[in-house]
């Protein structure tokens, strides 16, 4: 079903590099990038500039998925969270490199480039961001 | 604007209906509504049909025309329009019918809501429901539909101390009500223990926190209020209609625990009806997940933000409570054929206001509210009904 839907394999640079955009009028930052700022609307048209996010943020909420779609079956149980990035926007992503039971609201996390899903055994691989706990330096 | 009345209602059995097709179900619901309204059918000016995803569930699009055809209207050539807004498709169809009469364009309109979800397997049904979320920025990363509501629940627990037990109490209450509804998918009460220990779907939501996959259809006949008496003595008036929208993705909302689309639609409907939440005697709210009912009673103004869980625990929303919610059994127990749900909610409130709800009748019910949500809260429709 999915392999013939372009949105899954189309090149979406924002998915690999966490590039959002910023309203040239109020300076609010968005991810994913928006065509217009919902606050400034017409004042923002033509003034939206690319903005590279630093990939750091904290967990607003999360869940552990126990019943998932076919493409994610092998990963069950896996965690999904909403992360509030330092620059303002919130995004949805998996939390990896830690046990589900160790995930907490307000925990600090950072983005990491990973494989997200694959079309069957030998099909196209889709990449994107996941998040992992920020390592505490000794 | 003209006043609009509901003069006829029709509802099929909800459940896993292996022996009935999509077209049989909607024709059955429509015929019941027409018979109930006391009209012949020739008076109908237009038709609106709510269906979320007939294309993916039964491989059939263009269902506006199909439903007019199987309902016997093909020779009349009436305008028939399909309306889509995910799980709020039914409520949106009701609102389109309502607006077309209020505006003076039509006098009598039939509205249908339908979904036949069991013609595809469980995995397919889940994937189709997930199309109501943001495919590029939520589903792509593995977020499921229960997963999104689970994240609302987790945050609600964190901010307001809502408990898993309070979530389970929503399911227990709705099953107790559904047990009294002959059209319900599950006519069986469940214990608190059973609800709390059900298989985990998306932490903290277990199987008993989730509405089922269902087949079913519902229909209503709407009529300009000034001519309703010609057809029936038991009409119910629509005194408020509101609709709201929000970001498709949950993560982009102002507040994870508030459905601003519900707040907006509610305010619009209350303002039109010139009433406050205190005037509502009973409500059918969109409990696709138990947490959704808790958010709904808060966002509709029945209780303060954060007090929904407590309200359920204190039995305010039970059949004999001060504000009965989901007397039909709700989506959880009555079933949730997505396109039918918003229309079926109107059917339940109409039955209650007519005093025809039998074992689940709410005493002295005069004003009732329906609340239908699409996706994780990107679309919401609210209607307020009053005894005519």
- Considering the domain architecture, whether residues A72 and A93 belong to the same structural domain is answered as yes
Give the residue numbers of B annotated as catalytic, written as ranges: 87, 336
Domains identified in chain B and CATH numbers: 4-121+213-236 (3.40.47.10), 122-211+239-387 (3.40.47.10)
**Residue A40 shares a structural domain with residue A69:** no
In angstroms, what separates the C-alpha of A72 from chain B's closest C-alpha? Answer: 7
- Chain A CB contacts of B147 under 8 Å are 63, 65, 80
One domain for residues A89 and A107 = yes
Same domain, A46 and A67: no
Q: Between chains, do A78 and B146 touch, taking CB under 8 Å as contact?
A: no
Q: Mutate which of A6, A82, A101, A126 to disrupt the B interface (most B C-beta within 10 Å)?
A: A82
Cis status of the peptide bond prior to A32, with omega within 30 of 0: yes
> Is residue A125 assigned to a domain?
yes
Q: Are residue A59 and residue A127 in the same domain, yes or no?
A: yes
Q: Which domain range does residue A129 map to?
A: 2-12+54-133
**A41 and A67 in a common domain:** no
How far apart are the CA of A138 and the nearest CA of chain B, in angstroms? 30
* Domain co-membership, A66 together with A78: yes
Do A33 and A60 lie in one domain? The reply is no
Residue A37 shares a structural domain with residue A84: no
Q: Do A61 and B151 touch (CB under 8 A)?
A: yes
Question: Do A6 and A44 reside in the same domain of the chain?
Answer: no
Contacts of B248 in chain A (CB under 8 A): none
**Is A101 found in the same domain as A125?**
yes
List CB contacts (< 8 A) between B142 and chain A.
Answer: 65, 68-69, 71-72, 75, 78, 80, 94, 116-117
Segment A33-50, tens digit of pLDDT: 999 999 999 999 999 999
ipTM confidence score: 0.95
Query: How does DSSP assign A101-132, residue by residue?
Result: GG--TT-EEEEEEEEEEESTTTS-EEEEEEEE
- Gap from B147 CA to chain A (nearest CA, Å): 6
- State the total domains in chain A: 2
Interface residues of A toward B, Cβ cutoff 8 Å, are 1, 7-8, 12, 32, 60-72, 75, 78, 80-82, 89-94, 105, 116-117, 126, 128, 130
Alpha-carbon distance B64 to nearest alpha carbon in chain A (angstroms): 26
Q: What's A93's domain CATH number?
A: 2.40.50
- A138 belongs to a structural domain: no
Same domain, A79 and A41: no
B-chain residues near A75 (CB < 8 A): 142
| Residue B260 contacts A where some CB pair is shorter than 8 Å | no
> Best interface-test mutation with B: which of A11, A20, A34, A66 has the largest number of B CBs within 10 A?
A66
> Residue A67 falls within a domain, yes or no?
yes
Q: Which of A32, A65, A70 sits opposite B137 (nearest CB)?
A: A32
Contacts of A62 in chain B (CB under 8 A): 151, 154
CA distance B181 to chain A (A): 30
Q: What is the pLDDT along chain B (388 residues), one digit of tens a residue?
A: 999 999 999 999 999 999 999 999 999 999 999 999 999 999 999 999 999 999 999 999 999 999 999 999 999 999 999 999 999 999 999 999 999 999 999 999 999 999 999 999 888 898 899 999 999 899 999 999 999 999 999 999 999 999 999 999 999 999 999 999 999 999 999 999 999 999 999 999 999 999 999 999 999 999 999 999 999 999 999 999 999 999 999 999 999 999 999 999 999 999 999 999 999 999 999 999 999 999 999 999 999 999 999 999 999 999 999 999 999 999 999 999 999 999 999 999 999 999 999 999 999 999 999 999 999 999 999 999 999 9
Selected residue of A61, A116, A129 to mutate for chain B interface (largest B Cβ count, 10 A): A61
């Amino acid at each position: 079903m999915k392999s013939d839907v372009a949105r899954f394999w189309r090149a979406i640079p924002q998915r690999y590099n966490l590039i959002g955009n910023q309203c040239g009028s109020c300076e609010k930052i968005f991810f994913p990038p928006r065509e217009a700022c919902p606050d400034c609307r017409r004042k923002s048209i033509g003034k939206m500039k690319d903005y590279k996010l630093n990939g750091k943020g904290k967990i607003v909420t999360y869940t552990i998925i126990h019943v998932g779609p076919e493409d994610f079956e092998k990963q069950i149980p896996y965690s999904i969270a909403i992360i509030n990035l330092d620059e303002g926007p919130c995004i949805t992503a998996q939390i990896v490199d830690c046990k589900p039971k160790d995930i907490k609201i307000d925990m600090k996390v950072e983005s990491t480039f990973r494989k997200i899903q694959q079309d069957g055994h030998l099909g196209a691989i889709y990449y994107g961001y996941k998040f992992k706990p920020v390592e505490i330096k000794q | 604007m003209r006043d609009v009345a509901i003069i006829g209602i029709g509802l099929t059995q909800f459940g896993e209906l292996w022996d009935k097709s999509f077209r049989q179900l909607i024709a059955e619901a429509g015929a019941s509504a027409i018979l109930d309204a006391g009209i012949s059918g020739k008076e109908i000016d237009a038709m609106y049909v709510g269906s979320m995803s007939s294309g993916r569930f039964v491989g059939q699009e263009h269902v506006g025309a199909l439903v007019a055809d199987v309902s016997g209207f093909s020779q009349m050539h009436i305008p028939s329009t399909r309306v889509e807004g995910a799980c709020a498709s039914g409520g949106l169809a009701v609102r389109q019918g309502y607006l077309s009469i209020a505006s003076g364009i039509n006098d009598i309109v039939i509205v249908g809501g339908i979904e036949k979800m069991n013609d595809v397997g469980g995995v397919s049904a889940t994937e189709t429901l997930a199309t109501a979320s943001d495919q590029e920025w939520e589903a792509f990363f593995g977020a499921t539909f229960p997963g999104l509501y689970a994240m609302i629940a987790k945050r609600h627990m964190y901010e307001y101390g809502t408990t898993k037990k309070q979530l389970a109490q929503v399911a227990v209450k709705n099953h107790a009500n559904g047990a009294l509804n002959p059209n319900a998918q599950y006519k069986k009460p469940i214990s608190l223990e059973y609800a709390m220990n059900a298989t985990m779907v998306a932490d903290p939501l277990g199987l008993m926190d989730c509405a089922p996959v269902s087949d079913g259809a519902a229909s209503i006949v709407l009529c300009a209020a000034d001519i309703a008496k010609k057809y029936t003595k038991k009409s119910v008036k629509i005194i408020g209609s509101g609709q709201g929208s929000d970001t498709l993705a949950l993560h982009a909302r102002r507040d994870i625990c508030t459905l601003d689309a519900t707040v907006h639609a509610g305010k619009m409907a209350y303002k039109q009806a010139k009433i406050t939440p205190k005037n509502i005697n009973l409500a059918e709210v969109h409990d696709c997940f138990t947490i959704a009912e808790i958010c709904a009673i808060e966002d509709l103004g029945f209780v303060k933000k954060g007090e929904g869980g407590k309200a359920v625990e204190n039995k305010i929303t039970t059949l004999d409570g001060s504000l009965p919610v989901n007397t039909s059994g709700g989506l959880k127990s009555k079933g949730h054929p997505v396109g039918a749900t918003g229309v079926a909610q109107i059917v339940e409130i109409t039955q209650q206001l007519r005093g025809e709800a039998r074992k689940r009748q709410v005493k002295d019910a005069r004003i009732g509210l329906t609340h239908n949500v699409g996706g994780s809260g990107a679309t919401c429709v609210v209607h307020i009904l009053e005894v005519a």
